Structures are given as C-alpha cells and as structure tokens.
Chain A
Amino acid sequence: MRLIVNGAATDVVGPTVADLLATCLNDARPHGIAVAVNGEVVCRSDWPRWALAEADTVEIVTAVQGG
C-alpha cells in the first residue's frame, strides 16, 4: 500500500496507524507524537485499529524547539 507520509510517497505493509508508526519510528506507541490522516487527528487509542487506505495522506508530528 502506498501512502503519502509527511509529504513523501511511502510503501507500507501493515494496515493500521500503529503498523505505520512501527515502520517509520520503530515504535507502535511512541510518546509525544500525534498523527493526522487526511487532515483529521487520529487519537492515540485508535492507532491499533485505524485502517489506512491506499493514497491516504498521513502527518506524523512531534514537539520541537520553537516560538
């Protein structure tokens, strides 16, 4: 399945947000991280069951120094 993750085309195997995080961050439940799929925030508790679909746009963000 091909997704757009943080602006870049990315091939993933697993079907859920948790699978994607395990692939991208080596951690299925990382702290201090938030995820949006197609412009909607997916709550941490929904990561293991939120099914991604072909061509979904995913944002994975964290806090950085700023402001």
Chain B
Amino acid sequence: MSGLTIAGRELTSRLLLGTGGLPSLALLEPVLAAADPGLVTVSVRRTSSTREGGLLSVLRRHGVPLLPNTAGCLTAREAVLTAELAREALETDWVKLEVIGDETSLLPDAVGLLDAADQLVRRGFTVLPYTTDDPVLARRLSDVGCAAVMPLGSPIGSGLGVLNPHAIEAVRAAVAVPVVLDAGVGTASDAALAMELGCDAVLAATAVTRADDPVAMARALRLAVEAGHAARGAGRIPRRAVARASSPTAGRI
C-alpha cells in the first residue's frame, strides 16, 4: 500500500496511469505490470460492437481500480451525462472530471468545471477534477466536495513538465484533499519534481504510452514517483547562493 487514501480508498500506488495513446492493446498488460498504478483512467465513447470489451477484460484481470474520465467534454452538461454513463457502464462512481475550454489548448474551463463538479458531488460521485494550477480554483473545487484536485503541470500531452512549480506548491498549501499532478509529465524527473513539491500522486498517460519504450517508461515513472515522495518526506536542504564546504576546514595542510 502507498499510504495514499482518496475518498476512503487506500491506493496501492501513487502513480496513476492513463491508457490513451498506447499503440497496441497488447502493450497494456506489460505496462500495467511495470507501472503498478493505483488507478487507471479510461474514456467513454460511442460503440457499435462489444469488441472493445478487450480493454475492460485486461483491466479487470489486472484488478486495478478504474477511473473513467470525461475527456472531450466542452460543457458541464456533457460532462455530467458522460460521468453518469461511465457510472452505469463501469459500476464505479469515481470520475476524473474534465471540462475543457477548447480543443486546441485542452485547458480546463474553470466555470464549467466548478459547475459540473458541484452537480456530480450532489449526485453521489467521487469527483477528481482536472484543473489549472490555480490555488483559488482548487480551493473552490475542494469546497464543493471534490475528493482530490488534479492540477496540470503543463498542457495535456505536451511533455513540458511542471512549468510553474510555485503554483503547484500553492495548490498543495490551499487544500486539505489529495493533490494529483495531472498532465504535462514528459519523463521521470517531471514526476519526481511534482512529488518533491508536495503532490500526493502523479497521473501520467502520454509520457508512458507514446514513449519509445512504454514498458520501460512505466517502470521509470513508478520509481520516480516513489523517489520524489521519499525525498519530500526526507526534507531537502535549503538552496544557497554560495558554496558551503562539506569537508572540515580545520586541519588542512
């Protein structure tokens, strides 16, 4: 167990994994084995066959809890309906809530997000909103009953890492619920930095699924999240503008 509890459920790992972008479903099992994620996200889309069931079979066989998302929703109304469909299809009331402002930036629409979060909490959902790195919005989301907040490090799929570490620290300080760094992770050091800043978990998708070797990157991110969390607990030294010798100054020849 990871020691991280969200809405009363203890997660097995502080690395959460998105499944979008994997070149083949056959890679999912080895990626899951290497990442050992605490939650795995899936999307909800129209279907004309039951063949897509292959994805759910793999995930159920692995036993990892599912976190359906509302990716692609541009309004609170779409997001609420998508969350309700996900609850019915997947038998979970957990939802990674996304209400995006436009399809170019994929940035959250703060107004629609807060509205949808409020509606879904009232309908009994465990809501984990994908949000901007804004401590004020994070507090508002927490106030309406979200189980965690998931600020972006940088735009979805950009791999730019944590562009504003101070904002992530401010989000951490603003809320009592778990903070999950979501979006922007490109490689292991980004995930480690997020944890060192005080995030409780990291959600990565593209960083793994579009890496040259997704299985190797899944393992790297798992280790990075663990290392960053341990370093945060260890307490880093303060930064100094000048050198400070670590060898004794006395007794020099």
Please give the residue numbers on chain A whose beta carbons come within 8 Å of chain B beta carbons, in ascending order: 6-7, 24-27, 30-36, 39, 41, 43-44, 59-67
Contacts and interface: CB of A to CB of B under 8 A. Distances in A.
Contacts, number: 110
B85 to A, nearest CB: 4
Contacts of B90: 32, 63
Contact of B50 (A33, A59, A66): A33
B interface residue count range (under 10 / 10 to 19 / 20 to 34 / 35 or more): 35 or more
Nearest to A42: B88
B43 A34 contact: no
B50 A63 contact: no
Nearest to A44: B88
B46 A34 contact: no
27 contacts: A6-B47, A7-B46, A25-B50, A27-B50, A32-B52, A32-B89, A32-B90, A34-B87, A36-B84, A41-B81, A41-B85, A59-B46, A60-B46, A61-B85, A62-B47, A62-B56, A62-B89, A64-B43, A65-B25, A65-B42, A65-B43, A66-B43, A66-B45, A66-B71, A67-B71, A67-B96, A67-B205
Interface stretch (B14-22, B132-140, B166-174, B229-237): B14-22
Contacts of B28: 65
B47 A61 contact: yes
A34 B22 CA distance: 24
B48 A33 contact: no
A31 B91 CA distance: 10
A24 B50 CA distance: 10
A4 to B, nearest CB: 12
B49 interface: yes
Contact of B19 (A30, A36, A44, A66): A66
Contacts of B25: 65
